[in-house]
Structure 1
Amino acid sequence: MNKIFGFLVAYATILQQPIGTNAAIVQGANRAEFLTLCKILQLHGAKPQTSEPQLKGDTIEHELNKLNLTLSEEDWKKKFNKGGTSSNDDQKIPDDKKSDQTWTDRWPKWLKAREETKTAEKEAEVLRQANMHTLTAVQKKWAAQQLQPILERVEQLAKLQRAAYPKTKFAVLKTAETTVKEAIYGQKASGESDLGSSKLYGGNSAKPTTVQQACTGAGESHKAATVVGTILCLCAKAASGVEGSCVPRQAYTTTWNPNTPNDQTVWTPIGKYCPQRLNKDFSAQELTTDLLTLRAAIHAEGADKYLGAYLQTGCTGNKANGICVKYTGAATTPDNLNKVPWLNKLETLAGALSAAEQAATEAEKLNEKLEAEKAKALLLFAGAQKVVETPNPVAGRHQTPEQQKTPGLICGTHNKSKTASLGAQCVWRGQKDDDGPCVVDESKVAEQATQAGTAASSGCAKHGTDKTACENDKTGDKQNCAWRNGKDNEDYKETEKCRNVSFHVNKKLSLMAAYYMRFVAF
């Protein structure tokens, strides 16, 4: 047992010993690194899968401002112009509103909406698009009132969208292709066949004259400043190098010599092993994953870090030393790797793309909320069609059928039934029992109005605002009326006025209520 244990310890010790200098780098040694770099290389020509969102806030707000102005009464419209033509428009905010932030913010929007709805034809078009072109004046007024809270919400959403998602947040979506191309091939290069005119080795410094110079450096000044430059260090056959270090069983007719330079000639047979990708879109997550995979392949040797096969001495391209990229001092100074031009560009791009993708998603959610508010506005026509003008003595009062129904309001619903028409005390003018029209019995409406007027001119109500007369209304010692607030079931509970001392529904009011209830549909 002790012999076996001793053998295992000895074997493990051998495995931990550094590779001897007589070892050599073989074909396929850098294949894993090449495949990862190939994925990055294939991003050339691809676009970010996220596009800049079309912010809908301003557009929807403007559409609803036009609808609101079209539904508004003429007195409000006249605030935005002196005459009937645009040349006479008063573009100045009223003096008494100049300190009102709401007015100063909205005034330009109102002016623009007015300009685009000034003529009858333009107003008609706005109403037609909202399906409100058949509404009466009362129905338009109701729709305008209901539109106000919707417009307030839209304005707040549009304001938030403008502030949170300016175009600058999505600028990276337009520059990503150029950034990827420069990271892969260098500045000025149009593609894989244009390496001769590119800044393949970065910056304006002198080009390297040896493989070791081309593949060694730190941070921003690293000579392997591009993806292609990095692949050449890992895959090209240098003097005393090995053919097929990235793609086994391949023979290259040209030996890489940066001093020539023959970068384009050497690159062409290597580049064909990275065919164009089928999917022309890429995400921040895809780019991030490829970069993290590559970072995981970078290993430390003392104070330095290496990508690719390293044995000793340096990244000379010699199979006995190293076919690799050296990041001098990167093990102790991370920026010596982080600031390498191509890596820094792509990692910065990945972060910016991720932020743009998230912002686009959030902006689209606001678009959905804005569209929902717009849909509510366009559905107002359905509620407005139910709004009718009632014979209420209060000027301008209008209610929906659910709030109040009178004989004149329900007769139109009985056009198909003579029996129902007569039961509602309407007039049947149809030639058949199932084909109206059923119309208002004007005598009933007049009778109803007379009863309402009689009620208002009798009892405690006859005293109006005369408090003294109200308190002096007595029968002997019994107080008939009192100046007080309303009780339950009385109107205007918070208002002091002349009321019955004891609130009872008298016979006359009971009869009136019974008459009205005949016309209420439940």
Structure 2
Amino acid sequence: MFCQKGSGNIGTLCYATGATAKAKTIIATIICACASVGSGSTKACWNPKTALSNLAGATDTSTTAWNWLKQLCHIPGKAKLTSSGLQTALTAVLAQIEFDSTTGYLGGAGTGTCDGTKAAGICVKFTGATGLTHTSIQYIPWITALNKAIKGLKEIEDATAAAEGIQAAIEATKQEAYSLLEEVKVEVDQQVSQPQPPAKAQPTEQECNKHTEQNDCKEPCKWEANATEQTKKCSLDHKKAAEQATQAATGEKPK
């Protein structure tokens, strides 16, 4: 909890100055701000029915003090840990620090010694701090660790959100492709199911012979003005008839 074992005066432990802070953990900070070594000042943070026993620094009772204090903290059960949640909590704690000249105090400062008594202060002392951005505060181990955790969580959250966005885009593209395929399939099925017009019957030689006027003799019939037989001047052109039959079968337009 602390960087060293307590002495008779907890004020020797409740100094939190940068990387060399003695109150280097969150638990130590809570103990310094809420526990007391003096009679009559054991309700610094709460007013429970049974007051917290005095903290005896000489016998290093910080563990006992924390076991009691954490029951009053209303620590929630399992909850989702987020970068914004951690940042909000850290900001709320730091907002409680008050500054007097070149020293910051978290808790009841009293005369500023932070020795665990009502008169001298039940507090954490940040020597040299003139504001929240000062190294005396920002380089405290537990604050440094929390800031690092917040940054790491934010990076994970951003990466997760980006991955979810990519996955959503992939799913949307897949659904669009499936829809297009269904549209194409329906269109093809409709074309296949549509009845094809019956092929036009090709005229026979006898049918061509019935035409006695050139204007009535149309392909695949062929007019032969010099034919010796009057009834055969309009006769079937077999080559043209074959071409028309092929065009009808393939759907090709006549040339």
TM-score, normalised by the number of residues in structure 1: 0.36
What's 1:329 paired with? 128
CA gap of 1:447–1:325, structure 2 versus 1, over 3 A, is same
What's 1:369 paired with? 169
What's 1:413 paired with? 194
1:381-460 residue pairs with structure 2 within 5 A? 381-383=181-183, 385=185, 412-414=193-195, 424-425=197-198, 446-448=246-248, 452=252
Corresponding position: 1:201 with 2:2 = yes
Corresponding position: 1:214 with 2:13 = yes
Tell me, yes or no, if the aligned pair for 2:199 and 2:249 is still in contact at 8 Å. Answer: no
Cα shift readout 1:413-456 (whole Å, capped 9, x = no counterpart): 24xxxxxx6xx2279xxxxxxxxxxxxxxx9873436895xxxx
**Equivalents in 1 of 2:251, 2:184: separation in Å?**
30
1:208-287 residue pairs with structure 2 within 5 A? 208-209=6-7, 210-240=9-39, 242-248=41-47, 250-252=49-51, 254-278=53-77, 280-287=79-86
What's 1:118 paired with? none
CA gap of 1:322–1:253, structure 2 versus 1, over 3 A, is closer
Tell me, yes or no, if the aligned pair for 2:16 and 2:137 is still in contact at 8 Å. Answer: no
CA gap of 1:446–1:297, structure 2 versus 1, over 3 A, is same
Cα shift readout 1:431-484 (whole Å, capped 9, x = no counterpart): xxxxxxxxxxxx9873436895xxxxxxxxxxxxxxxxxxxxxxxxxxxxxxxx
Counterpart residue type for residue 198 of structure 2: Q
**Equivalents in 1 of 2:126, 2:245: separation in Å?**
97
Counterpart residue type for residue 349 of structure 1: A
Tell me, yes or no, if the aligned pair for 1:284 and 1:354 is still in contact at 8 Å. Answer: yes
Q: How far 1:257 sits from its partner (Å)?
A: 2.2
What's 2:98 paired with? 299
Tell me, yes or no, if the aligned pair for 2:38 and 2:118 is still in contact at 8 Å. Answer: no
Identical-pair percentage: 26
Tell me, yes or no, if the aligned pair for 2:35 and 2:52 is still in contact at 8 Å. Answer: no
**Equivalents in 1 of 2:251, 2:153: separation in Å?**
75
Cα shift readout 1:281-331 (whole Å, capped 9, x = no counterpart): 132222211211211110111211110111214111111111100011111
SS at match of 1:272: helix
Counterpart residue type for residue 361 of structure 1: A
SS at match of 1:311: coil
Tell me, yes or no, if the aligned pair for 1:237 and 1:252 is still in contact at 8 Å. Answer: no
- Structure 1: runs of 5 or more not aligned: 1-199, 389-399, 402-408, 415-420, 428-442, 453-508, 514-522
Higher Cα radius of gyration? 2
**Equivalents in 2 of 1:237, 1:445: separation in Å?**
111
Counterpart residue type for residue 114 of structure 2: C
Q: How far 1:255 sits from its partner (Å)?
A: 2.1
TM-score, normalised by the number of residues in structure 2: 0.70
SS at match of 1:256: coil
Tell me, yes or no, if the aligned pair for 2:6 and 2:59 is still in contact at 8 Å. Answer: no
1:346-357 residue pairs with structure 2 within 5 A? 346-357=146-157
- Structure 2: runs of 5 or more not aligned: 201-242
SS at match of 1:351: helix
1:10-159 residue pairs with structure 2 within 5 A? none
CA gap of 1:274–1:313, structure 2 versus 1, over 3 A, is closer
The CA RMSD measured in Å over matched residues stands at 3.3
SS at match of 1:327: strand
**Equivalents in 2 of 1:252, 1:337: separation in Å?**
31
**Equivalents in 2 of 1:425, 1:298: separation in Å?**
95
Q: How far 1:253 sits from its partner (Å)?
A: 6.2
**Equivalents in 2 of 1:446, 1:277: separation in Å?**
86
**Equivalents in 2 of 1:286, 1:303: separation in Å?**
30
Cα shift readout 1:474-518 (whole Å, capped 9, x = no counterpart): xxxxxxxxxxxxxxxxxxxxxxxxxxxxxxxxxxx7xx49xxxxx
Count of residue correspondences: 211
Tell me, yes or no, if the aligned pair for 1:243 and 1:250 is still in contact at 8 Å. Answer: no
Tell me, yes or no, if the aligned pair for 1:241 and 1:317 is still in contact at 8 Å. Answer: no
SS at match of 1:368: helix
What's 2:231 paired with? none
Corresponding position: 1:315 with 2:114 = yes
**Equivalents in 2 of 1:346, 1:269: separation in Å?**
24
